[in-house]
Amino acid sequence: MPQYFRKRINYAGWASDLRSSYPSMHRLGVLFLTVLCSAAASAFGAPVVPAAGVSTSKGKVDFVRDIQPMISGKCLSCHGPRKQEGHLRWDNKESALTGGEHGPNIIPGNSGKSRLIQLVTSTNDDDIMPQKGDPLTDAQVSVLRAWIDQGANWPASASVEIVDPRKHWAFKAPVRPAPPSVKNKKWVRNPIDDFVLAKLEEEKLSPSPEADRATLLRRVSLDLTGLPPTIEEVQEFVNDRSPDAYKRQVERLLASPHYGECWARHWLDVAHYADSNGYEKDLTRSIWPYRDWVINAYNENMPFDQFAIDQLAGDMLPNATPEEKAATGFLRNSMLNEEGGIDPEQFRIQGIIERMDVLGKSFLGLTINCCQCHNHKYDPISQKEYYQLFAFLNNDDEPAMEIPDKKTEAARDGIRDTIAKMEDEMLTKTPGIAGKMEAWEKKMAGVKRDWTVLDPSAFYGSVGTKFNKQDDGSLLATGSNPPFSEYSVTCKTKLKGITAFRLEALPDPNLPYNGPGRAENGNFVLSEFSVQAGTNKVVLTNATADFSQAGFSVAAAIDGIITNKIGWAVEDLPGRRNRYRQAVFETVTPVGDGNEITLKFALNQSYGSEHTIGRFRISASTGDRPVQADPLSPHGREILAIARANRTAAQERELFNFYRVSDPELAEANNKIDDEQGKWPTAPTTLVLQARAEPRETHIFKRGDWQKQGELVTPGVPSILHPLPPGQPLNRLTLAKWLVDKKNPTLARVIVNRIWQEYFGRGIVVTSEDFGTQGDKPTHPKLLDWLATEFMNSRWDVKHIQRLIAESATYRQSSVITPQMWERDQYNSLLARGPRVRVDAEIIRDIALSAGGLLDLKVGGPSVYPPIPDGVLTLGYGAPMAWKTKADDRYRRGMYTFAKRSVPYPSLQVFDAPTGESPCTRRIRSNTPLQALTTLNDPVYVEAAQAMAMRVWKNGGKDEKSRINYAFELCTGRQPGPSEVATISSLLNDESDYFENSTVRAVKVASHDPKNPPEDVNLHKVAAWTMVSRVLLNMDETITKE
Amino acid sequence: MNLNEYHREEGKKLLTRRYFFKECGMGLGALALASLLRGTDAGAAPAVNRMDPLGPRSPQFAPKAKRVIYLFQAGGPSQLDMFNYRPALEKYDGHPIPAEFVKNQRYAFIKPDAALFASQFKFAKHGRCGTVLSEVQPHLAEVVDDIAVINSMTTVAFNHAPGQIFMNTGATQFGRPSMGAWVTYGLGSVARDLPGFVVLSSAGGTSGGAGNWGAGFLPTVYQGVPFRRSGDPILYLANPPGITPQMQRRSLDALKALNQERLDVVGDPEISTRINSFEMAYRMQTSAPELMDITKESKETLEMYGAEPGKSSFANNCLLARRLVERGVRFVQLFHEAWDHHSDVTGNVRKECGLTDKPCAALIKDLKQRGLLEDTLVIWGGEFGRTPMVETNKEAGRSMGRDHHPQAFTMWLAGGGVKPGLTLGKTDEFGFNITEDPVPVHDLQATILYLLGFDHTKLTYHFQGRDFRLTDVEGEVVKKLLA
C-alpha cells in the first residue's frame, strides 16, 4: 500500500506554466506526519531588513507577491509537481515547512537557524540551492530572510492541495444518487434530465427548445443505426401527432438490424478490429465472424456482462458454442508480425501487450499500459500488478477456428449420416468382413513400433523461420512464414544400428486448420528429407507413409532433388484433412555403433506458397527390416488397445475407417464414400483464443524489455480495484467474471460514458479511455453514477440505456448555437443544447450512397473490396494484395470495407477512421481540404451524385421546385428554405444552360459509364441535376448530425 | 503549459472573440474570409487555430532550420559499403566473426558464426573535410563539405517494420505520430495551398506502411499526404470527368452559399472551417499540378538531378522536394524502399547508389545555390544498417549479402544548423559496435527538433493520461552535430 501513496495536486496561485505539469510518483504522504515545532523566537532575534530593490510595503514581506515567484522560478523544477527531490516540494505549504528527508528547512521567525538560508547562501557546490541555474541574488536572500523572520507567513490559498490518488473518484464504486430536484419540472422526461437541468439551473441557464421533428428523427436515426431516415420515415414522423410518436421511432430504430451494425462499429474501434495482421507483411486474416458476432450481440441486446465474458473467455465456458468461441476474437485483434527474421516470442509478447491495452481501455477505462516499464506515474497501479493481469492473458494458443454456420453444419451432418449408412452397408453386406477385420487388427497389433524420439539439440530454419521446442520433442515452427524453407535439425544419439528414421507431422492449434503444415489449408510439401551422420551422408530407401496426397508420394522426398516442387504432401479430402501423418525412411546400411554420433537432418521444402511443415518430430528405429510407416494414427492405436467389447460405437467406426481403406477389395465402396466426402462444405475460419493446458510462466519485464525477465508473478488484479472472487481458478474466465462484478468501480461508468459519447460527441468524462487521475473529471458526476447504477440494475441492458438517452429531453434539444451560448460553453459541456457533430467516416459514405439509392443494406459477412484508386495499395510493402471488387462489394455499408492496417482505405482514413493499430475509444473529428476533395471527386461520391440525380429526375416530382425539395430532403431530411431554394435553382439553371450546348459533357457528367448512358431520360437535365446533387451531398449539413 | 493546451486556450480566445464579434455577428463577408485564409509568416501566433490548424506558428526558440527534407532510405543501406571503411574486414574476410562480438545478439536470418565480409568497393577521403566515402557515391563526394556524416547511429529494432516505425515515430509499436506530424503540429505550414507534410515514394512500398507518416493521436490534419507516382499527385485532386474548373467554381460558390446560410442559422463555427477547407481544396487543384510540372525547370537543373518530366523516380522526387519546400511545405519525406540487400550487397548497393547518389547531391547543391540550405534540414538514412558478416542462404537464393544490423549504422544530415564537413562517431574494427559518440535514434530526433526550435521534452501532446512526445522518455541533443 505505501508504494502507491502518491499525490495529485490542485493548483492554487502557481505560475501558469505549471498547469500542464503533473506530479511524479515520489512519495510524500508519510513525510507529513512530523509536525513542525512552533515558531520559536529566534535566539539571535534578527531584525527585519527589507531588501534593497524589492518593494515591500512598509517592510512587510508578502508571500504571494515577493516569495512565490522566486520559488516558482528557482525551486519547483526539482521540488514541485513533477519531481520531489528529497521528498520535498515547494508548492505545498505543509511539505515546504515540514521539510523533506533532511527535516525542517524553515524555522519561522529565525532565518539564522533556518536550513533554507544556509543552503541558498552555501559556498559548497554539493549543498547550494538551487542546484540548477543561478544562485539567489543577495537581494533575494534578504527578502527570504525577512519573510522567515516575520514568521514565514504562507496563506493557505497559495498552497496547492495534494490529493491521494487512491481516493480518486473513479476508484470508488458508483453509489446510486437520487435525482436532484429542479424548478422546471415540465421539461424533464426522465432522470437524465433532472441531473442536466439541475446543473443548468445552478448556472442560471435554460435548456434549448426541442429540435424540430425532421432534425430530431435524422439525429436519432444516425445515432441508433448510422443511417439517415428515408423521406417517407420523416414524413410519417412529422405527421404523427400521437403522444408516443417519438418513442415508437426509437423502438423502431432499436429493433432495426442496422442498430447492431452501428453500435458494433463503435465497439470494433476499441477492439481495434482489422482484416490484416499489421506490420510489414500485413497479410490478410479472417476474423469477420467476430465482427458478425458483435453485430448480433448488439441486435439481440445481449446483457453487457455476458457480452464481456464471451469476448474475454467464451472458449472457457462449459460446452462453449462456436459463437462463444468466435467471440474471443476480441483479443485476437492484436497485430501479428510475420516479417522475415523476427523473433516470434518478441511479437507474441507484443501482442499480449496490445491485448492489455485493449483490456484497459475498453473495460477498465485505465491506461494500464503505462505500467509496462514502471509503476504508473499517476494512478495507483504497480508494474507488478500489470504483469499479474498480463499473466491471465499469457496462456493461450492462437488458432484460426472454423466457424460453420447452421446451413454448413446441417450439410456436414447430412454427409456424415450418408457415409455412416454406406459404412454400415459395407459392414452388413460384405461377406466375411468381420473375420477379415479381426485378422487386420491382429496384424496391426503386430506392427513394429520401437521408435526412439531424437532430441533436437540445435535447429535452424532458413529464410527466418524460428522454432519452439515442445515437451514431446517436436518442433513448432513460428514467426515468419516464408514460402519455402530448409529446416536443419541436429540430434545426438547413442543408438546402435539405426535401420530407419520416422518423421511425424503433428497437428497443432496454432497452425492453419490445425496444420500439420503452414500453408493456408494446413498442408505442406516435403521436397527432400536427408540425413548426415557425422560427415557421412546417410543413404535412405524404402520410403513409406500413412498417407500420401495423389501426385505427392513420399518416395519423392528421397529422390535426391532438393529444389523441386515434387515431394511428400498430405492433403486429403475436405473434412479429413489436417491430421497426424508420418513418413518412414529406411537406412540402406545401419547407422550408429553405440557411441554418441551427431545426426544432421535437412528438411527441404521448395514447393512455395508457405507449404512448409508446422510441427514435426524425428525418431529412429533399430528394429528389423522392413520398417514401415504405421497405418494407424496414435489415436487409432489407442482404440486398438481397447478390448473389442469395451469400445464405443464411435471408436469402432473410427477403427473400421482405418481398416476399410487398407482392404483393396473394398475399393469400389471406398470410392463412393470418397465421392460423398468430397461434398464436404468448408467453412470460414476466425481467430480465437484457446486456453493452454499448461499455463505459461509470467515474469515482470524489467523496464518493459521482454528479454529482461524479473520476478515471477501469479495472476492477480490491481489492488485499487475490487478483489478477485475467492476460490476460483486463476484463469481468463475468472478474470472476465471479476471484470463484470458489480463491485467493479469503473466498468459500468466506462461503458455508459462511451455510449453517451456517441450521442453527444463527447463523454460525461471526455477522456473516455482514461478514468484515472490524469483523465478529465466528469462534467456531471452524479448523472454518470446514476447511469452506471441504472445499467447494472437493469442487468446490463444496453438498449435500456440507449432508450433513456435517446428519449431524454436533454438529447432532444435543438443544436443551434447562439453567440451567448458559445461564449459561455463552447464544448457544450453543460448540455444547454443538443449535439451537432460531423458523422463518422463510414457514415459519410453510407449517407451519400443512400441519397443515391445505391446503398446495399445487407448485414454481416466477409469484408468487401469496393473500388480503390490505383497506386494506393502499392504504398504497402511487397506485392500489392489482390483487391478484387465483386459486383456485390460496391455499395455495401462503409463498415464492411476491408481494413488493411498498413494501407487504410483512403476515403475512410481521410475522415479519421482509425487504422486498427491501437485501440481507439473516441475518434478525432478533423475538417480538412483532403476531405473536401474526397467528397467532391472520389468516384464513389460522384456515382452517388449521378444516381441521386436520376432519382430526383424520375421521382422528385414534375416541377423544379418539387425536385429541389426532394433532392434537399434526400440529403438533409428537411425542406430547404426560400433562399436555399434560390441558390440551388440558380445553380441548376446555370448548369442546364451549359449542358444544353454540350451533350458530350452532359453524358460524361451524368453517367458513370458514358458508353452506356441511361436511355429514357433527358441527359442534359440529369447532368445539371448531377451537379446540384454533388453540391448537396457536400453540404456540411449532409455529413453532420444536427 | 504544453503546446496543445496552449493551442486550446488560444484557439478558444480566437474563436470566441474574433469569430463571434467580427465574423459571425456580421456574417462572414469576403473580407473576413480573406483574412481567415491569409497565410503569411508575419505575425503568426504559435497557436493552433481551430479553424485553421495548419496556420504557421513560431517554435519555442529561434530555429536554425525552418523546414525538413527527409530522404528515408528504407530497407537498411549498407554503411560498410558506402561510408564506414573498415580495413580489418579485408584482412579477416571469410573468417568467422569472433564470438565476443556477437555474444547473445539475435539475428534475423544469418547464423551467429557467419563469416566476415569485406566491402568490394574502394574508399577515399573527399573534400576539405576529408570525409570518407566509397566509390559508389561520386556525386555525394562533391558536396561532402556540406554534410555531416554520423557513423555511430544505433537503434533498438532489427526488423524492418518496427525499425522504420521507431525511426519515424520514436516507438517500435504502431500508433504514435510520425516526426513529420509532430513538426507540422509544432510549426504549422507556410504553404496555404498544399499540405503541410508531403510524402513522396520511389522503389517499393515501405515495411512500416502508412504508420511511417501517420498522425497517430494527433489531429489527422498533421498526417503526411502521400503524393502519387502517376495521375493526380493527390488522391481525388482532379475534377470528375466532364467537370471543368469553371463548373467546379460554380459548384463551390453554390456550396459556400448553402453552407453560409446554415452557419447563419445554427451558428456552428465548424461550418466556417468547412467552407475554408473547400476553398483550400480548390486552390490545391491548381497548385498541386503546377507543383508537379517540372517541365519549366531549366535543362541544367533537370540534368543535375537526373530528373525526367513525366517519370516517377527518386531523382524526380528530390527535385519535387525542393519545389515543395520552396512553396512553404514544412516537412517533405521521401521513401526509397530498396536497400534490404540480403543478397549481392555489392551489386545492389551499386545499383541503388546509381539511382540516388546524384539526385541527393543535386538537392544539396540546388538548395545551396538558392539560399535554402541554410534553413532547410536535409536528413538521409534508413532504419538500421547491415552486418559485417555475409549472408548466404541457398533456400532463399541468397548469397554475398548482409543481414540487418541495428548496433551501428550511418546517416547524414545537411543544412539547417548542422555542422558541415563533420564525421561523427567511431566503430570497432569490424564496424560491429560503436566505440565513440553513439547516437541513439531518440537523440537524433531530439537534435532535429532542436534545430527546428523545439525543446523535444516540451513539444508534447496530452493523450490517454500522459504527455506524449516524439522522443518518448529519452533523447539528448547531440551538441557535436550543431554548427
Interface membership of A1036 toward B (CB under 8 Å): yes
8 Å CB contact of B258 and A912: no
Bridging pattern class, strands A685-687 and A400-402: antiparallel
Interface membership of B105 toward A (CB under 8 Å): no
Phi, psi values for residue A434, rounded to 5°: -60, -45
SS3 state of residue B48: coil
SS3 state of residue A400: strand
Contacts of A468 (CB under 8 A, 6+ apart): A344, A345, A475, A476, A478
Confidence tier at B457 by pLDDT (50, 70, 90): very high
Of B148, B90, B80, the C-alpha closest to B432 is: B80
Distance from CA of A839 to the nearest CA of B (A): 13
Give the C-alpha separation, B2 to A19, whole Å.
Answer: 9
8 Å CB contact of B465 and A1027: no
Contacts of A70 (CB under 8 A, 6+ apart): A136, A140, A143, A144
User: What is the secondary structure of A438-505 as a DSSP string?
Assistant: HHHHHHHHTS---EEEPPEEEEEEGGG-EEEE-TTS-EEEES---SSEEEEEEEEE--EEEEEEEEEE
Q: Name the region of A714 (left: φ>0; alpha: ψ -120 to 50; beta: rest).
A: beta
Contacts of A835 (CB under 8 A, 6+ apart): A219, A759, A760, A761, A811, A815, A828, A1041
Q: Are A276 and A287 in contact (CB under 8 A)?
A: no
In one-letter notation, the amino acid at residue A130 is P
Of A415, A423, A411, the C-alpha closest to A650 is: A423
Give the C-alpha separation, B413 to B70, whole Å.
Answer: 9
Q: Which residue has the cell 516558482?
A: A72
Confidence tier at B51 by pLDDT (50, 70, 90): low
Of A895, A887, A838, A890, the C-alpha closest to A863 is: A895
Interfacial B residues in 346-405 facing A (CB < 8 Å): 393-396, 403-404
Best mutation target among A20, A347, A528 (most B Cβ atoms within 10 Å) is A20
Q: How confident is the model over B44-59, as a mean pLDDT?
A: 66
Tell me the per-residue pLDDT of B131-142, one tens digit each, with 9 for 90 and over.
Answer: 999 999 999 999
Higher pLDDT, A375 or B70: B70
Best mutation target among B248, B395, B473 (most A Cβ atoms within 10 Å) is B395
CB contacts of B250 in chain A (<8 Å) are 987, 990-991, 1027
Q: Are A381 and A678 in contact (CB under 8 A)?
A: no
What is the residue-averaged pLDDT of chain B?
87
Q: So what's the pLDDT on residue A984?
A: 98
Facing residue for A463 by CB, picked from B109, B247, B251: B109
Q: So what's the pLDDT on residue B10?
A: 44
Facing residue for B108 by CB, picked from A279, A340, A979: A340
Measured between CA atoms, the residue of chain B closest to residue A872 is B228
Q: Are A1016 and A928 in contact (CB under 8 A)?
A: no
Q: So what's the pLDDT on residue B48?
A: 62
Q: Quote the ipTM score.
A: 0.83
8 Å CB contact of B175 and A918: yes
Peptide bond preceding B63: is omega within 30 degrees of 0, i.e. cis? no
Interfacial B residues in 269-308 facing A (CB < 8 Å): 269-271, 273-274, 277-278, 280-281, 284-285
Q: So what's the pLDDT on residue A51?
A: 42
Tell me the per-residue pLDDT of A538-567, one tens digit each, with 9 for 90 and over.
Answer: 999 999 999 999 999 999 999 988 877 889
Facing residue for A19 by CB, picked from B1, B237, B268: B1
User: What is the secondary structure of B360-405 as a DSSP string?
Assistant: HHHHHHHHHHTT-GGGEEEEEE-S-EEEEEEEEETTTTEEEEEEEE
SS3 state of residue A877: coil
Best mutation target among A707, A917, A1025 (most B Cβ atoms within 10 Å) is A917
SS3 state of residue A414: helix
Give the C-alpha separation, A72 to A996, whole Å.
Answer: 74
C-alpha cell of residue A431: 461377406
Q: Name the region of B325 (left: φ>0; alpha: ψ -120 to 50; beta: rest).
A: alpha
Bridging pattern class, strands B385-393 and B398-405: antiparallel
Longest dimension (CA), chain A: 125
Best mutation target among A346, A902, A941, A998 (most B Cβ atoms within 10 Å) is A902
Interface membership of A819 toward B (CB under 8 Å): yes
Per-residue pLDDT for B439 more than 90? Answer: yes
Distance from CA of A419 to the nearest CA of B (A): 43
Q: So what's the pLDDT on residue A54?
A: 45
8 Å CB contact of A877 and B162: no
8 Å CB contact of A819 and B393: no
Q: Are A81 and A18 in contact (CB under 8 A)?
A: yes
Alpha helices, DSSP H, located in A923-977: 929-937, 939-955, 960-972
**What percent of chain B has pLDDT above 90?**
72
Q: Are B93 and B117 in contact (CB under 8 A)?
A: yes
Interface membership of B107 toward A (CB under 8 Å): yes
Of B246, B320, B257, the C-alpha closest to B285 is: B246
Q: Specify burial of residue B428 (Cβ count, 10 A radius: 0-12, 13-18, 19+).
A: middle
Q: Report how many Cβ contacts below 8 Å link chain A to chain B.
A: 281
Q: How confident is the model over B298-303, as a mean pLDDT?
A: 96
Report field, pTM of the whole predicted structure over 0.90:
no
Contacts of B395 (CB under 8 A, 6+ apart): A462, A463, A484, A485, A486, A604, A606
Per-residue pLDDT for B366 more than 60? Answer: yes
8 Å CB contact of A1027 and B243: yes
pLDDT under 50: residue ranges of chain A:
1-13, 15-58
Distance from CA of B217 to the nearest CA of A (A): 8
Angle, helices B245-266/B269-292, rounded to nearest 10 degrees: 160
